[in-house]
A and B are shown apart, each in its own frame.
Chain A
Amino acid sequence: MSKVELNKETGPREVFCGLTSIVWLHRRMPDAFFLVVGSRTCAHLIQSAAGVMIFAEPRFGTAILEEKDLAGLADAHEELDRVVNDLISRRPEIKTLFLVGSCPSEVIKLDLATVSEKLNKRFLGQVRFVNYSGSGIETTFTQGEDGALKALVPLMESTDDEKLLLVGTLANNVEDRFKKIFNHIGITNVESFPPRQSTELPKIGKNTKVLLTQPYLSDTVRDLKHRGCEIIYAPFPLGVEGSSKWFLAGADAFKINELKVHEVIAPLANRARQALEKHTEILRGKKLFLLPESQLEISLARFLHNECGMELIEVGTPYLNKDLMDEELNLLPDDTKIVEGQHVEKQLDRVRATSPDLVVCGMGLANPLEAEGISTKWSIEMVFSPIHGIDQAADLAGLFSRPLKRNQILTSKTLATH
């Protein structure tokens, strides 16, 4: 058991809500549509978080609740029917439609499960409806993905075939790479969840061994377990160390000799460590403060400390699932200060008091901290960039060394920011 220092904090937060994960989920499954049932705020949120990056017509939208919808729930169900009809006639290529609950729809207790059921009957054979909540009173940022995946689990058919199931959204190139490496190790039946097409859900059962690629999938894992899947506990595949242990854990579940795994990954690891060097030169000894946002903070802290030599001041996380994170916590230095939850003002006071060299934070805080002379890295970049795996370790480190390098370049000349 790790001796890290676990703290809890409550107060005003500065994090995205679970709706935001639609932004990467809709890219992953191009045949799916995400319909948020919410307010103008929800529509504005997704647009602001994603809008400027997307040029095509988005595969997500909002059914905006109006005053008359709040008056009577029966009306709201009919209204939703109408909106869904409009949408499907506009986008006939949609195969799966996620009805996504939001704060207002949760508070007025709009029953999206019943709506989905009815719609499923009506559109049988054409569109499949699933529902989950991305509401900010229940979920933060990446937890939305957990909700979406959990909603898909009941739709996965059963099988007794032995397979390795990688769970969590990855960049396509990273996913291909992982499958290839597992093939070299000797595991050939490797599938991914979520799949690239929402209709091609992998089959699962008692011989399915689940290896998580993302740490924020607690509910999905619980449901996969109920379906008989075996969960492989491992550190997450970030950095050389995390990825190597992750591959080893996967191979071990298939009773593959450790030497065989080392044989495959050692050359990759050597190459990656070399590539890491130019970043560790910049990162070594620098003080790092991670504010809570993506739930990748603990894995990132482990990588940046163990492999890049950074000093950890504080590791914030919006939510801590000790079962899933135990392997990671064990790899952290004993005195690491972990803070679950947030009181953003007090946390910023601590940032200022400890003058870190780099702060990992959400987009709302980045420029204000930069203006105070503190270098930052956006959390959101971790969920949009291919950062997983041994081959990506240097790229991952690069995300953190770049702001520091930029700082050196600019301050060594004549640019003062105030």
Chain B
Amino acid sequence: MELTLWTYEGPPHVGAMRVASSMKDIHYVLHAPQGDTYADLLFTMIERRGQRPPVTYTTFQARDLGGDTAELVKRNITEAVERFKPKTLLVGESCTAELIQDQPGALAKGMGFDIPIVNLELPAYSKKENWGASETFYQIIRTLLKDKVNEIDKINPQRWKSLGRRPKVNILGPTLLGFRCRDDVIEIQRILSEQGIDTNVVAPLGSSPEDIERLIDADINVCLYHEIAEISCEWLKRNCGMEYTTTIPIGIKNTINFIHEVHEKLDLPLTNKGELENKSKLPWYSKSVDSNYLTGKRVFIFGDGTHAIAAAKIAKDELGFEVVGLGTYSREMARQVRAAAKDLNIEALITNSYLEVEDAMKKASPELVLGTQMERHSAKRLGIPCSVISTPMHVQDVPARYSPQMGWEGANVIFDDWVHPLMMGLEEHLIDMFKHDFEFVDGHQSHLGHTATNAPDNKETKQAQSNMNIQEKSILWTESGKAELTKVPFFVRGKVKSNTEKYALSKGLPEINDETLYDAKAFFG
């Protein structure tokens, strides 16, 4: 048993729902008790969707367990097929149904429908949401393409030349409830089309079973989110030789690398190399004088594998931050995240426990947190500004405006989203000058810092601070020491405090006064 207070990922059948709901003409019969219908509100509330997910729950109850739940499954399958007339039917079960072993997928296959039936076996007690989404997408592709790929030759990525048409690619991996997927797809399609490359199919988001059947018309696949599409891309490579890209186009450098990778794979010469540098405002904004204050800002990163790795690279190479923490809850991507952390000379944090993440965050004392909705809560408690970069997310992370993470516009969005919770350069100096004025409220953030610690959360911040005080009562701070500490900007105060205490302990000092603070400052540099 694992004790969980908050969890980063749902069960695997929620991953399956994300794929089913992303697609058209598909229906998912889920053998599950009534409570499992909660999953619908992830789509209708968090994503504000105007349609119900295409899911029929069998809604079995305790009294059904003594009888024939298999009959209940069959009845629901029949009703769902009649009512929704899907072109492909997914059949699976949730955690409770798995225990009663009705095998709904096998039942459905024996019912004589003339549509493809995908039997989803998603082990609920060992796997999680992203795995479920990835497996579902793969099973759909496998079911719908198995016969076709046997008939075709290996796909040459350069065949577009001999076929006398523009090169075309599939974009694989975006789903509903993925982080800004909808806008990423638009951005990537736009970038590819500027390069003379067409999009054959985007899947699962917006695709139909017919679209899946024509995946093999493309020259290569673009694997946009490894968590969802890597297994499918591998299968397409193994079975029909389709190449796929592995660079995730988040950030300027990786967007350029991505464009290069696509061109190389397609053997398409890149004509306008120089222009790529000027497509986004991020490089100039990052170089502009106001950004000087960003130099070496300490940033803590936690999220899904794809977004965490990308964030670390942008933070270090494109914004000049110091990455003091990097981690993921995606165990499937632990290896890649560890490698990325190693490049930064830190150790990756691979965990499902948001409390462990909060502890690591506290120890690292960052000036900015880039994380999920959970880290947003933790950062609030600790009084640290935070920007959300990955799922799980809040309804406010599904904005009405166009706000991709990928490509040129994605880089612009990232600059704004990450930098606004911090103070601007000039602003920081002004606050330093005016902080002794009576109007000055300690804990002030940028007026743009809507995701950072604002007034309503002050109570929790104070609570966290007073907790901190209680824990560290053992070391005596003199009045002059305390007064000096309050002059330190609040966002580094925790770090300064613990450094000074560490210094005092190492020197065997009985108490900390203002001079000790300066001594420690000089010592640590």
Contacts and interface: CB of A to CB of B under 8 A. Distances in A.
Interface stretch (A14-22, A116-124, A151-159, A190-198): A14-22
B1 A48 contact: no
Given A55-B377, A138-B62, A368 B3 contact: no
B177 to A, nearest CB: 11
Interface of B: 1-7, 9-11, 13-14, 33-42, 44-45, 48-52, 56-62, 64-65, 76, 79, 83, 94-96, 99-100, 123-126, 128, 373, 377, 380-381, 394-395, 457, 460
A41 B2 CA distance: 13
Contact of B125 (A47, A55, A65, A106): A65
Given A41-B95, A49-B38, A366-B44, A103 B33 contact: yes
B31 to A, nearest CB: 11
Contacts of A370: 50
Contacts of A39: 11, 95-96, 124-125
Interface string A184-209: 00000000000000000000000000
Interface residues of A, number: 64
B83 A86 contact: no
B52 to A, nearest CB: 5
Most central of A13, A49, A136 by chain B CB within 10 Å: A136
Contacts of A364: 37-38, 40-41, 44-45, 52
Contacts of A136: 33-36, 96
Contacts of A363: 41, 44-45
Contacts of A56: 460
Given A39-B124, A47-B7, A80 B35 contact: no
Contacts of B5: 57-58, 60-61
A193 to B, nearest CB: 26
Given A12-B59, A61-B5, A107-B100, A368 B126 contact: no
Given A137-B96, A371-B51, A52 B395 contact: yes
Contacts of B37: 13-16, 362, 364
Given A135-B62, A136-B36, 19 more contacts: A16-B38, A39-B124, A41-B11, A48-B42, A58-B5, A67-B126, A70-B99, A103-B33, A103-B96, A104-B96, A107-B99, A135-B35, A345-B83, A364-B38, A364-B40, A364-B44, A364-B52, A366-B45, A370-B50
- The list of the 5 closest CB pairs from A to B, nearest first, reads A17-B35, A136-B35, A371-B50, A364-B40, A39-B95
Interface of A: 11-20, 37, 39-41, 43-45, 47-49, 51-52, 55-58, 60-67, 69-70, 76, 79-80, 82-83, 86-87, 103-104, 106-108, 135-138, 140, 345, 362-368, 370-371, 417
Contacts of B377: 55
23 contacts: A16-B35, A17-B38, A20-B35, A37-B1, A40-B9, A40-B10, A40-B95, A40-B128, A43-B7, A44-B11, A45-B36, A47-B6, A48-B42, A49-B41, A52-B395, A55-B457, A63-B3, A66-B2, A103-B33, A137-B60, A137-B64, A137-B96, A345-B83
Nearest to A79: B1
Contacts of A104: 95-96, 99
A55 B382 CA distance: 12
B96 to A, nearest CB: 4
A43 B59 CA distance: 19
Contacts of A103: 33, 35, 95-96
Given A86-B3, A108-B99, A137 B65 contact: yes
Given A16-B35, A48-B42, A41 B94 contact: yes
